[in-house]
Structure 1
Amino acid sequence: MTENSTGRRTTAGGVLGAATVAMGLIAGVFYIFACDVMPSLARSDDRVFIEVMRNINDVIQNPVFFLSFMGALVLTAVSAWQLRKSPHRWWVFAALAAYALAFLFTVAVNIPLNNRLADAGNPAAIADPAAVRRRFEDTWVAWNVVRALLSTLALACLVRALLLYRRPYRSAYLESAAGSSASR
């Protein structure tokens, strides 16, 4: 907890820290998909690709993932509200905007692609698994890279805000007045 300008205890630093951790977890998920999971699956045949992606999409829908996925958005929004009058608020607002876009792309692009892949049916019974994969893979991978970049940008902005938050704020006016002869 920290003290605000009125001396009251606040949780702004804790919320900012929690938002940073949640964002780091989500940026890491998107990053590992971009750097490892999808390139590894690209080496698989069509039926294996479809089966593994369906398994991943089923397993990732769990409370731990949702806590981070939703928590990064909610905690960043709460932090933006709490720090709306602070000098480093723009870093938190930028993080919120970047992650809101990543969240939107997830909901508008990646999740519908996941659902379409699930609706294709049992991979062993799909008549043309290559066509199912073609309609999924390139678009999903491209938008995941966008999500990875946006969430990493959001993480960098939150880290910057956290570093600035931990430093005592000094105004340029007070700094210049401290060295003037009028202040002695």
Structure 2
Amino acid sequence: MTQKRGARAVLASATVATGLVAGVWYAFACAVMPALGRSEDRTYVEVMQNINEVIENPVFFAGFFGALILTAVSAWQLRRTPTGRWVTAALVLYVLVFLVTSAANVPLNNELAAAGAPKGIADPGAVRESFEDPWVLWNIVRALLTTAALVCLWRATSLLRAAHHPAGGQTSAYLASDAGSRASR
């Protein structure tokens, strides 16, 4: 029973972490980048450089890497169950998120940082031009992949709950005794 609780806790934690990361990408896609898109080139470069520095913090990394590690542990724990297939699908999707971030978004962030201080950039429009559209595209890709991983984890959680509470859920002893007392009236 403790092992099952542990597996449920890991799956729940993986689901929460994945949801938080999906929320970050979603916020960038629907608010941060459109708002920055209204900015002047030098401001755009400066703000994105600041965001890229600030996001590298323990709280973000705990969610970003935690989602990957927790999903991998959950996939291993549940590998011989129908639930495990959903967790494995989520893991594959999140690995793709990790690869997109590592191969596309981070290199673009590094190129933006290498452009130097915004006040010293001769042509901030060119720097922005080489960064903005590819970064936004790859962010949307990882937002969709992370959301798909979240849906898979949600489904796995639902299946695990249904397996643990067959026939619509577990009835408490209090409600069971109450039902019995009404039946005898």
TM-score by length of 1: 0.87
* Structure 1 residue ranges, 4+ long, deviating more than 3 angstroms after superposition: none
2:153 aligned residue (144, 154, 158) = 158
Q: Which residue of 2 aligns with 1:36?
A: 31
Q: 1:124 to 1:83 in 2, by over 3 A?
A: same
- Structure with more helix by fraction: 2
RMSD over aligned CA atoms reads 1.4
- Distance in 2 (CA, whole Å) between partners of 1:147 and 1:9 is 31
Whether 1:135 aligns to 2:125 is: no
Of residues 83, 92, 108, the one that matches 1:88 is 83
Distance 1:117 1:134 in 2: 11
Aligned equivalent of 1:167, options 162, 169, 182: 162
For 1:145 and 1:87, locate their aligned partners in 2 and report how far apart those are by CA, in whole Å: 30
Alignment partner of 1:100 out of 95, 114, 117: 95
SS in 1 for 2:163: coil
CA distance in 2, matches of 1:63, 1:127: 34
1:179 is matched with none
**Deviation of 1:9 (Å):** 5.6
Give the 3 Å change call, closer, same or farther, for CA 109–62 of structure 1 in structure 2. Answer: same
The TM-score with structure 2 as length reference comes to: 0.86
Gaps of at least 5 residues in structure 1 are: 171-184
Alignment of 1:8-157 (within 5 A): 11-157=6-152
Unaligned runs of 5+ in 2: 166-185
- What's the offset of the Cα at 1:168? 2.0
SS of 1:44's equivalent in the other structure is coil
**Residues 9-38 of structure 1, C-alpha deviations (whole Å, 9 max, x = no match):** 651000000000000000000000000000
Identity %: 61
| Cα distance in 2, alignment partners of residues 93 and 87 from structure 1 | 10
Q: CA deviation at 1:87?
A: 1.5
Tell me the amino acid that sits aligned with residue 63 of structure 2. S
How many equivalent residue pairs? Answer: 165
The amino acid across from 1:97 in the alignment is V
**Offset at 1:169?**
6.7
Give the match for residue 171 of structure 2.
none
